[in-house]
Amino acid sequence: MTAPEFDSAAARQAILDRIAAAAKAAGRAAGDVTLVAVSKQQPWERIAPVLAAGQTIFGENRVQEAQTRWAGRRAEQAAPLELRLIGPLQTNKAREALELFDVIETVDRPKLARVLAEEIQRAGRAPRLYVQVNTGEEAQKAGVVPPDADAFIAACRGEHGLAVEGLMCIPPQGEPAGPHFALLARIAARNGVPRLSMGMSADFETAVRFGATSVRVGSALFGSR
Ligand SMILES: *Cc1c(COP(=O)(O)O)cnc(C)c1O
């Protein structure tokens, strides 16, 4: 499973260069796009060189796994880390998620919005929040469907008092991603939502072209899981 010869620090630099080139081609500044290093299921030997190279923003899709990987190591880092939850969140894990994550990108249903609002009150500190949109309306995928997105964003803000920093999507496999990124960008624009988390290893340059402010890259950065 492990391939310790994979040079993740070199891979990171190559990805940053590709992000910068894609941004420039789209008339954007390279600094407008944040690389989120998706460290889920990766061995520490691949993560350490990326940390040493200066990467501070990491994405994880499971609360428990992220706690195991990061909770003890956080304090040891020279620069503050930013951890982002990019996988589905069960309401009974909301409190733990709030303790660990700086950003939760997967707010996708009224019950979760309500529980997060309660836990934020209780904790007296709030992570930055993204609403996940199921742009392909896939039955097996999390996220609010596009026809419900405006109302859900309004409810997050109005009913629950949550600030919505961005929108996130995972386009269907085997379909061109561009139309999904464009749809997410339209939903964000008409709701005044400033950030877009979209694009993974296979399509992050396309996402940059469509306005991504952060891309979530795992296997291209760390090697296959
Ligand atoms: C795993 C994962 C990624 C990274 O995928 P790669 O194809 O390995 O870059 C990005 N976003 C989410 C939500 C993921 O679960």
What is the rounded average pLDDT of the residues 165-176? 97
Q: Which residues contact 28 (CB under 8 A, 6 or more apart)?
A: 208
Q: How many whole angstroms from 198 Cα to the centroid of ligand 1?
A: 10
Q: Among 14-23, 77-86, 189-198, 212-221, where is mean pLDDT lowest?
A: 77-86
Ligand 1 centre from 113 Cα, in Å?
Answer: 23
Return the percentage of the chain with pLDDT > 90, whole number.
93
Name the β-bridge partners of 196.
167
pLDDT at 114 over 60: yes
Please tell me the distance between residue 107's alpha carbon and the centre of ligand 1 in angstroms: 17
State the virtual CA torsion across 200, 206, 210, 211 in degrees, nearest 10.
50
Closest-lying ligand 1 atom to the alpha carbon of residue 200: 9
CA of 220 to the centre of ligand 1 (A): 10
3-state SS of the chain is CCCCCCCHHHHHHHHHHHHHHHHHHCCCCHHHCEEEEECCCCCHHHHHHHHHCCCCEEEECCHHHHHHHHHCCHHHCCCCCEEEECCCCCHHHHHHHHHHCCEEEEECCHHHHHHHHHHHHHHCCCCEEEEEECCCCCCCCCCECHHHHHHHHHHHHHCCCCCEEEEECCCCCCCCCHHHHHHHHHHHHHCCCCEEECCCCCCHHHHHHCCCCEEEECHHHHCCC
Rounded to an integer, the average pLDDT of 206-213 is: 98
Q: Which of 67, 97, 55 is nearest to 217 (CA)?
A: 55
Contact 42, 217 (CB under 8 A): no
Instruction: Tell the residue nearest (CA) to atom 5 of ligand 1.
Output: 218
* Mean pLDDT, residues 154-173 taken together: 98
Task: Give the pLDDT mean for 97-115.
Answer: 98
Q: Whose CA is nearest to atom 10 of ligand 1?
A: 216
pLDDT at 3 over 70: no
Asked if pLDDT for residue 2 goes beyond 70, the answer is: no
| pLDDT score of 162 | 98
Question: Does the structure show a pLDDT above 70 at 57?
Answer: yes
Going from the Cα of 158 to the center of ligand 1, the distance in angstroms, rounded, reads 31
Q: Which residues line ligand 1 (CB under 6 A)?
A: 38, 40, 61, 86-87, 170, 200-201, 216-220
Q: Which range has the worst mean pLDDT, 70-74, 106-110, 133-137, 218-222? A: 70-74
- pLDDT for 8: 94
The single-letter code of the amino acid at 190 is R
Query: Residue 165: its pLDDT value, please?
Result: 98
Percent share of the chain, pLDDT over 70:
98
- Atom number in ligand 1 closest to CA 217: 9
User: Which of 132, 133, 200, 224 to mutate for ligand 1's pocket (most ligand atoms within 8 Å of CB)?
Assistant: 200
Closest residue by Cα to atom 13, ligand 1, is: 86
Atom of ligand 1 nearest to the CA of 204: 9
Tell me, in angstroms, the distance from the centre of ligand 1 to residue 124's CA: 30
Mean pLDDT for 176-203 is: 98
What confidence category does residue 78 fall into, taking pLDDT thresholds of 50, 70 and 90?
confident
